[in-house]
Amino acid sequence: MSDARGGDRAASFLLGAAIGATAALLLAPASGARTRRRLARKGEEVADYLIDAGKELVETCEDLYERSGELVEDASHELSGKYRALQEHSKDLLRETEAVLRRARSAATGR
């Protein structure tokens, strides 16, 4: 949840920075050609930054996906082992219960 908020904040910051940079360049006392070159250069910088950030995001998502698969596999193995142990314990309890019932039946019938 906090990662999503951080991403929203980063996107908002980048948008605000781009708007601020554009406004500053447009309001600066420079020629139109010079301003356009600055805008183009800043646009390229922002595009490069966004591409790099996107690549990092993809790598992070891939790492998280891989790690989640490992966690699920580990949990599955652990639960499988616990299930087998519970099954064996249940079988043991059933055998003990059957033995107690046989003894009680024998005692009740007098054998």
Task: Please state the rounded mean pLDDT for residues 23-28.
Answer: 72
pTM for this predicted structure: 0.47
pLDDT at residue 1 is higher than 60:
no
Contact 39, 25 (CB under 8 A): yes
Q: Tell me the pLDDT tens digit for each residue of 47-106.
A: 898 899 999 999 999 999 999 999 999 999 999 999 999 999 999 999 999 999 999 888
How far apart are the C-alpha atoms of 86 and 72, rounded to whole Å? 21
Count the domains in the chain: 1
What does the block give as tokens for 57? Answer: 């995001």
Please spell the DSSP secondary structure of 20-50, one letter per residue.
HHHHHHHHSS--HHHHHHHHHHHHHHHHHHH
Give the Cα separation of 45 and 39 in Å (integer): 10
From its phi and psi, is residue 46 left (phi > 0), alpha (psi between -120 and 50) or beta?
A: alpha
Residue 52 sits in which domain range?
Answer: 2-109
